[in-house]
Structure 1
């Protein structure tokens, strides 16, 4: 019998801030960069030359966080970019101390929307928007 599995993979469109976001997530969430392609790595298009300051922008990156994957790009697929509206991410762990560390790191330069605290569904739950406008819901599974 074949078991079919599906997963959600959040994709962040960072509009020029992908490198800084990746640095934060590596530090705050123990993320590992498993793939990175920068715009400067792509073949040059003579009809649409890339400005020098955008050659270091991220065309596509994959980060591994625990058993999950996060994809990031500086490309904006929509017609307008509105910081913070591109996605909300749930970071789930079974370790309350790790949840606290994640929350504390992500709130630096950001905004706490709901403090990290026990709730009826989690020993530690909080909501924080990081300095790039990405909202994270930190959730600890189980009763601790």
Structure 2
């Protein structure tokens, strides 16, 4: 098991990644924009979000961390938080961790298979810390 930071930049992700690349030598190893995701049956993408970064993985030294534009909430103000992304070794362990974190917390995305993973879910734990639990693809 390992835990990675997942930072939300509220619409400034591309700018931040460019800055970290120039100033710190960070390398974007994976990037997906919202327009590249399959259509969402639960709702339409808000206008102006198409070219925003849905997900990026960034290598900085020997660490790989993740980032996104998030929801681009105009009322959010500057950096409004982050989530920890816990990647488990297998689906059973991941679901176990997800359920443990959900005890006394609030599930924001139920545990489920997605187009990028056999299992993924999001939860704010009882202490107010956001977690994204996932299983890597084989």
TM (norm. structure 1) is 0.47
- Which of the two has higher C-alpha Rg? 1
TM (norm. structure 2) is 0.49
